Amino acid sequence: MASTAARRTVATAARRQTPAYRKGTLVKEGDIWVYREDKVMPYSPAQLYSVIADVDSYQSFLPFTTASRVLNSTSLDPSGQRRDRPVTEKGWLRPGAGERWEMDAELRIGAMGFEEGYVSRVEAEKERWVKATSKDASMFRHLSTIWSFSPAPPTPQAAAPQTRVDLYLAYAFASPIHAAAIQTVWDKVSALMVEKFEQRVREVHGTR
Protein backbone atom coordinates (compact mmCIF):
# COMPACT_ATOMS: atom_id res chain seq x y z
CA MET A 1 0.00 0.00 0.00
CA ALA A 2 1.19 3.52 -0.75
CA SER A 3 0.76 4.67 2.86
CA THR A 4 2.82 1.74 4.16
CA ALA A 5 5.58 2.51 1.67
CA ALA A 6 5.53 6.17 2.67
CA ARG A 7 5.82 5.29 6.34
CA ARG A 8 8.75 2.98 5.61
CA THR A 9 10.49 5.73 3.62
CA VAL A 10 9.97 8.26 6.41
CA ALA A 11 11.32 5.83 9.00
CA THR A 12 14.40 5.15 6.88
CA ALA A 13 15.09 8.86 6.42
CA ALA A 14 14.66 9.47 10.15
CA ARG A 15 17.10 6.70 11.04
CA ARG A 16 19.72 8.35 8.85
CA GLN A 17 19.46 11.58 10.85
CA THR A 18 22.35 12.04 13.29
CA PRO A 19 23.69 15.03 15.26
CA ALA A 20 26.20 15.53 12.43
CA TYR A 21 23.32 16.76 10.26
CA ARG A 22 22.07 19.32 12.77
CA LYS A 23 23.34 22.42 10.99
CA GLY A 24 22.52 20.99 7.58
CA THR A 25 24.60 18.94 5.17
CA LEU A 26 24.34 18.47 1.43
CA VAL A 27 25.86 15.29 0.02
CA LYS A 28 25.58 13.35 -3.22
CA GLU A 29 24.27 9.81 -2.88
CA GLY A 30 24.66 8.12 -6.23
CA ASP A 31 23.22 10.59 -8.72
CA ILE A 32 20.89 12.27 -6.22
CA TRP A 33 21.71 15.25 -4.02
CA VAL A 34 20.49 14.86 -0.44
CA TYR A 35 20.16 17.65 2.11
CA ARG A 36 19.51 16.88 5.78
CA GLU A 37 18.97 19.17 8.71
CA ASP A 38 17.44 18.80 12.15
CA LYS A 39 16.57 21.27 14.85
CA VAL A 40 14.85 21.25 18.24
CA MET A 41 12.11 23.87 18.44
CA PRO A 42 10.00 25.02 21.43
CA TYR A 43 6.65 23.98 19.96
CA SER A 44 4.51 20.85 20.02
CA PRO A 45 4.49 18.35 17.13
CA ALA A 46 0.90 19.40 16.40
CA GLN A 47 1.90 23.06 16.02
CA LEU A 48 4.80 22.28 13.70
CA TYR A 49 2.78 19.82 11.65
CA SER A 50 0.03 22.42 11.18
CA VAL A 51 2.49 24.74 9.44
CA ILE A 52 4.16 22.31 7.03
CA ALA A 53 0.89 20.52 6.22
CA ASP A 54 -0.69 23.82 5.16
CA VAL A 55 0.28 23.33 1.53
CA ASP A 56 -1.90 26.22 0.33
CA SER A 57 0.38 28.60 2.26
CA TYR A 58 3.71 27.37 0.89
CA GLN A 59 4.11 30.43 -1.31
CA SER A 60 4.09 32.50 1.89
CA PHE A 61 7.26 31.00 3.33
CA LEU A 62 9.05 28.29 1.31
CA PRO A 63 11.98 29.69 -0.73
CA PHE A 64 11.23 30.40 -4.40
CA THR A 65 7.73 28.90 -4.18
CA THR A 66 5.45 31.30 -6.05
CA ALA A 67 2.14 29.39 -5.96
CA SER A 68 0.67 26.36 -4.22
CA ARG A 69 -2.75 24.78 -3.89
CA VAL A 70 -4.22 21.41 -2.95
CA LEU A 71 -6.11 19.78 -5.83
CA ASN A 72 -7.69 16.81 -4.04
CA SER A 73 -7.52 15.02 -0.70
CA THR A 74 -8.10 11.49 0.57
CA SER A 75 -8.21 10.20 4.14
CA LEU A 76 -7.07 6.69 5.07
CA ASP A 77 -8.53 4.88 8.06
CA PRO A 78 -6.44 2.44 10.16
CA SER A 79 -7.48 -0.49 7.94
CA GLY A 80 -6.30 1.34 4.81
CA GLN A 81 -9.76 2.22 3.50
CA ARG A 82 -9.63 5.37 1.39
CA ARG A 83 -12.23 8.11 1.34
CA ASP A 84 -12.16 11.17 -0.90
CA ARG A 85 -12.69 14.38 1.05
CA PRO A 86 -13.60 17.92 -0.11
CA VAL A 87 -10.51 20.08 -0.33
CA THR A 88 -12.43 22.99 1.17
CA GLU A 89 -12.72 21.12 4.49
CA LYS A 90 -8.93 20.93 4.89
CA GLY A 91 -9.35 17.84 7.01
CA TRP A 92 -5.60 17.16 7.03
CA LEU A 93 -5.18 20.31 9.17
CA ARG A 94 -7.79 19.41 11.78
CA PRO A 95 -6.81 17.81 15.13
CA GLY A 96 -6.37 14.05 15.07
CA ALA A 97 -2.91 12.65 15.83
CA GLY A 98 -1.98 9.67 13.68
CA GLU A 99 -4.60 10.19 10.96
CA ARG A 100 -3.19 9.59 7.48
CA TRP A 101 -3.92 11.69 4.41
CA GLU A 102 -2.94 11.80 0.76
CA MET A 103 -3.22 14.81 -1.52
CA ASP A 104 -2.23 16.05 -4.94
CA ALA A 105 -0.90 19.60 -4.82
CA GLU A 106 0.00 21.98 -7.64
CA LEU A 107 3.11 24.04 -6.99
CA ARG A 108 5.10 26.60 -8.93
CA ILE A 109 8.72 27.55 -8.28
CA GLY A 110 10.89 30.19 -9.91
CA ALA A 111 14.56 31.16 -9.79
CA MET A 112 17.10 32.84 -12.12
CA GLY A 113 14.68 33.07 -15.02
CA PHE A 114 13.50 29.48 -14.67
CA GLU A 115 9.90 28.81 -13.74
CA GLU A 116 8.41 25.39 -13.18
CA GLY A 117 4.89 24.25 -12.42
CA TYR A 118 4.35 20.68 -11.29
CA VAL A 119 2.12 18.40 -9.26
CA SER A 120 3.36 16.75 -6.07
CA ARG A 121 1.94 13.75 -4.29
CA VAL A 122 1.68 14.71 -0.62
CA GLU A 123 1.33 12.05 2.05
CA ALA A 124 0.95 12.91 5.72
CA GLU A 125 0.48 11.38 9.13
CA LYS A 126 -0.86 14.03 11.46
CA GLU A 127 1.63 15.42 13.96
CA ARG A 128 4.35 13.01 12.75
CA TRP A 129 5.45 13.58 9.16
CA VAL A 130 4.69 15.11 5.77
CA LYS A 131 6.20 13.75 2.56
CA ALA A 132 5.96 15.38 -0.89
CA THR A 133 7.13 13.74 -4.12
CA SER A 134 7.06 15.46 -7.50
CA LYS A 135 5.02 13.62 -10.13
CA ASP A 136 5.72 15.59 -13.30
CA ALA A 137 8.41 18.26 -12.83
CA SER A 138 10.34 18.77 -16.07
CA MET A 139 13.24 20.51 -14.31
CA PHE A 140 13.81 17.63 -11.88
CA ARG A 141 14.17 13.93 -12.54
CA HIS A 142 13.58 13.38 -8.83
CA LEU A 143 12.35 15.74 -6.13
CA SER A 144 11.11 14.65 -2.71
CA THR A 145 10.86 16.24 0.71
CA ILE A 146 10.17 14.70 4.11
CA TRP A 147 9.49 16.71 7.25
CA SER A 148 9.21 14.62 10.41
CA PHE A 149 8.43 15.60 13.99
CA SER A 150 9.21 13.83 17.26
CA PRO A 151 9.05 14.95 20.92
CA ALA A 152 12.44 16.06 22.21
CA PRO A 153 13.65 15.25 25.74
CA PRO A 154 12.68 17.98 28.22
CA THR A 155 15.36 20.27 29.60
CA PRO A 156 15.38 22.40 32.77
CA GLN A 157 15.51 25.53 30.61
CA ALA A 158 12.53 24.58 28.43
CA ALA A 159 9.11 25.32 29.89
CA ALA A 160 7.28 24.83 26.59
CA PRO A 161 7.03 21.52 24.70
CA GLN A 162 10.12 20.71 22.66
CA THR A 163 10.00 18.98 19.29
CA ARG A 164 12.78 17.76 17.02
CA VAL A 165 12.22 18.64 13.37
CA ASP A 166 14.01 16.58 10.72
CA LEU A 167 14.17 17.73 7.10
CA TYR A 168 15.17 15.30 4.34
CA LEU A 169 15.33 16.80 0.84
CA ALA A 170 16.45 14.74 -2.17
CA TYR A 171 16.69 15.96 -5.76
CA ALA A 172 18.24 15.24 -9.13
CA PHE A 173 18.02 17.57 -12.11
CA ALA A 174 16.52 16.33 -15.35
CA SER A 175 19.45 17.45 -17.50
CA PRO A 176 22.98 18.88 -17.23
CA ILE A 177 21.58 22.16 -18.59
CA HIS A 178 19.21 22.51 -15.65
CA ALA A 179 21.93 21.45 -13.22
CA ALA A 180 24.42 24.00 -14.55
CA ALA A 181 21.85 26.80 -14.50
CA ILE A 182 20.33 26.45 -11.04
CA GLN A 183 22.45 24.03 -8.97
CA THR A 184 23.96 26.85 -6.89
CA VAL A 185 20.60 28.50 -6.30
CA TRP A 186 18.96 25.22 -5.35
CA ASP A 187 21.74 24.47 -2.87
CA LYS A 188 20.91 27.79 -1.20
CA VAL A 189 17.20 26.95 -1.24
CA SER A 190 17.97 23.74 0.63
CA ALA A 191 19.87 25.62 3.32
CA LEU A 192 17.01 28.11 3.75
CA MET A 193 14.20 25.58 4.17
CA VAL A 194 14.38 25.13 7.95
CA GLU A 195 15.11 28.81 8.55
CA LYS A 196 12.03 29.93 6.59
CA PHE A 197 9.93 27.21 8.22
CA GLU A 198 10.99 28.45 11.67
CA GLN A 199 10.08 32.02 10.76
CA ARG A 200 6.64 30.88 9.61
CA VAL A 201 6.10 28.92 12.84
CA ARG A 202 6.79 32.07 14.85
CA GLU A 203 4.34 34.03 12.70
CA VAL A 204 1.58 31.46 13.18
CA HIS A 205 2.15 30.32 16.77
CA GLY A 206 4.09 33.20 18.31
CA THR A 207 7.65 33.58 19.52
CA ARG A 208 8.78 31.28 22.33
Half-sphere exposure of 168 (CA within 13 A, CB side): 21
* pLDDT given at position 67: 96
Q: What domain range includes position 76?
A: 2-205
**pTM (2 decimals)?**
0.85
In the prediction, which pLDDT does 83 show? 96
Least Cα distance to 61 among 206, 164, 187, 199 occurs for 199
The structural domain count of the chain equals 1
Mean pLDDT of each 10-residue bin along the chain, 208 residues long: 51 43 77 92 96 97 94 92 96 94 94 83 98 89 95 78 94 79 74 92 93
CATH number of the domain where residue 14 is located? 3.30.530.20
100-111 and 82-85: which strand pairing? unpaired
8 A C-beta contact, residue 103 and residue 122: yes
DSSP state of 160: S
